[in-house]
Amino acid sequence: MLTMQVIPQVYQLTVRYNNIFLIVEDKLTLIDTGFRRNPAGMIDFIHSLGRSPEEINLIILTHNHVDHTGGLAEVRKLTKAQIAAPRIDFTLGKDVLPYPGGKFLGKVLQVPALSSIRNRLVIRAGEIDVLLDGGEVLPVMGGLLVILTPGHTAGSISLYSPLKKVLFVADALKKRHGVLSLPLKTATTDLNQAVASVEKMAKLDVETLCFGHGRPITEDAKGRLMSLLEKIKN
């Protein structure tokens, strides 16, 4: 596992190119949980800070993809944390999965012999304590604003701290070889929505961008967002 401090009290923990974010305050907050078995390194890191996984008070899931939710069951064994996640992604029902080709996948995976695969790919609404609609302010980092940023999935959320000027975008954006861009087309349900989500982000006063995959942007994040918006609108 690779670890880095993004800003004081905010750590990025990377396992198999998947990022989990740990926010260290009086209580601990997780943003996403990675794949199954990803949390093991995270637990060791929490202990290295002189803290305990039992202090995790809130787990925020940004969208219902297995590389962001797969470790949830393991974390829940260690903590009584509340689980918060976007309503849209977690209440689609059995007919649709929050992946490209979701209607086809939903139909195929209703076959009893394949139901176990479906259960590994998505988290059910019944496992979520707080369903988020966007606009909520969570009691983290002086107030963490939930912003609906669909595109990658219909219900993807980003999390914005006005106090720290940090924006956690999960997979609503990607950065590869230093270049900021829209989410990968083949892994995105609606690119038009993704563009509209960039417009929302570009209005924010952002100094730091944190992603679901890859290193954060810690310099000129606002300028990079504006440049991306100009590029995709022209």
Span 2-233 CATH architecture: 4-Layer Sandwich (3.60)
Look at residue 16 in the predicted model and tell me its pLDDT: 84
Look at residue 88 in the predicted model and tell me its pLDDT: 94
The three-state DSSP-derived secondary structure of the chain is: CEEEEEECCEEEEEECCEEEEEEECCCEEEECCCCCCCHHHHHHHHHHCCCCHHHEEEEECCCCCHHHHCCHHHHHCCCCCEEEEEHHHHCCCCCCCCCCCHHHHHHHCCCHHHHHHHHHHCCCHHHCCEEECCCCEECCCCCEEEEECCCCCCCCEEEEECCCCEEEEECCCEEECCEEECCCHHHCCCHHHHHHHHHHHHCCCCCEEEECCCCCECCCHHHHHHHHHHHHHC
Q: Is the pLDDT of residue 87 over 90?
A: yes
C-alpha closest to that of 22 among 35, 36, 49: 49
Average pLDDT over residues 100-108: 65
Round the average pLDDT of the chain to a whole number and report it.
91
Average pLDDT over residues 114-136: 85
Look at residue 173 in the predicted model and tell me its pLDDT: 96
**45-63 pLDDT tens trace:** 999 999 999 999 999 999 9
Least confident of 4-8, 67-71, 99-103, 193-197: 99-103
Cβ-based neighbour number of residue 233 at 10 Å: 9
